[in-house]
Amino acid sequence: MPGHDIIVVGTSAGGVEALTHLVKNLPPDIKAAILIVLHVPSHGTSVLPRILKRAGSLPVSHVKDGEAILVGKIYVAPPDYHLLVKKGHVHLSRGARENSHRPAIDPLFRTAARAYGRRVVGVILTGVLDDGTAGLKAVKMRGGVAVVQDPNNAMYPGMPSSAIENVYDIDYVLSLAEIPGVLVELANTPVEEEENFVPEQMEYESEIAELDMEAINNDSRPGKPSGFVCPECGGSLWELQEGDLLRFRCRTGHAFSAETLLAEQSDALEDALWIAMRALKEKSSLARRMAARLSDRNHILSAERLQQEAQDCDQRAAVIREVLLKSNRHSVAELNEVPSPEEQEAINGE
């Protein structure tokens, strides 16, 4: 009888340090496969396997599409690919970003839960915002085990806090130092497998992460129209409600938690403000040039009108500038994500 032998781990900001500690304290004979998603830039170079290999005694590598799942091995999602779990093997997909990330945590957790049910352990470590919450909910829905780093012990408490607030039946909330021992214990605990029903929404979201065209073209998708548009592609977003957890997904597969969608809309608003300020300054500059030409030709009234128009544009641009400055101060104070040296190494290479 197998144990909890499929361990899926998701982390973001501060994740390299947390993963290094986790791997360092796992024994080489652990009876589980460990699959990891760390948020990294899509076009960056990740050397996370090299870092984790140095830290511990388990073999670590970036996933190869179709690779068999073996106990005692660590699988790391490569940049710009979702790591998905099938029965017996892993799959890489360039499916739509979820929570603005690829790789994202939710697709890994969701597909692992679909394939392995009660054998899955979902682990949420340090990170900002709330990627992983919906995936951990899927793990619990299929009878798996939920482990969350104590937010008070996390470098960035956003992801652990979101999981605790929205996944009501979490099994363990632990300090980072306590997690390795619990994972070993769970891997050694026999699990009686059951043919649990896989919810329709979980099937749909797993298939759409694989770019399954039948799922993409399905007009009877779960949820209801939200009235919002997708920040990624401009398509209509459908609202998905799971208990108190509110999420959104568009036709092509881009998915957002409410918190991530709000952050994306904030970015879009800032972009619009910069565009507006640029347009106002260009109009001001052109109006002044035209006023100077008219003044040289003694068209004094027309020149004065254009000078006034230029001043109005400058005043409006100054208002927008103040809004942008206040927004930037807020971002620096509350959402600063300066990577540690280890994170920078994992993103940029040694």
Under a CB-based contact definition with an 8 Å cutoff, are residues 2 and 157 in contact? no
Give tens-digit pLDDT for 7-66.
999 999 999 999 999 999 999 999 999 999 999 988 878 899 999 999 999 999 999 999
Give tens-digit pLDDT for 268-302.
888 889 999 999 999 999 999 999 999 999 999 99
Which region, left, alpha or beta, applies to residue 316 given φ > 0 means left and ψ of -120 to 50 means alpha?
alpha
At 332 the pLDDT is 47
- Tell me the angle at which helices 133-141 and 105-116 cross, rounded to the nearest 10 degrees: 10
71 vs 32: CA distance, rounded Å: 4
At 350 the pLDDT is 41
Q: What is the DSSP letter of 302?
A: H
Annotated domain spans of the chain: 6-187, 260-335
Q: Which residues of the chain have pLDDT under 70?
A: 196, 327-350
At 328 the pLDDT is 63
At 331 the pLDDT is 53
- Sheet with 145-149, side-by-side order of all strands: 60-62, 74-76, 33-38, 6-11, 120-124, 145-149, 172-174
Q: Going by C-beta distance under 8 Å and a sequence separation of 6 or more, which residues neighbour residue 83?
A: 35, 37, 63, 75, 77, 90, 92, 103, 107, 108
At 222 the pLDDT is 76
Whether domain 6-187 has CATH 3.50.50.60: no
At 329 the pLDDT is 57
Q: Which residues are catalytic?
A: 12, 39, 131
Q: What is the DSSP letter of 119?
A: G
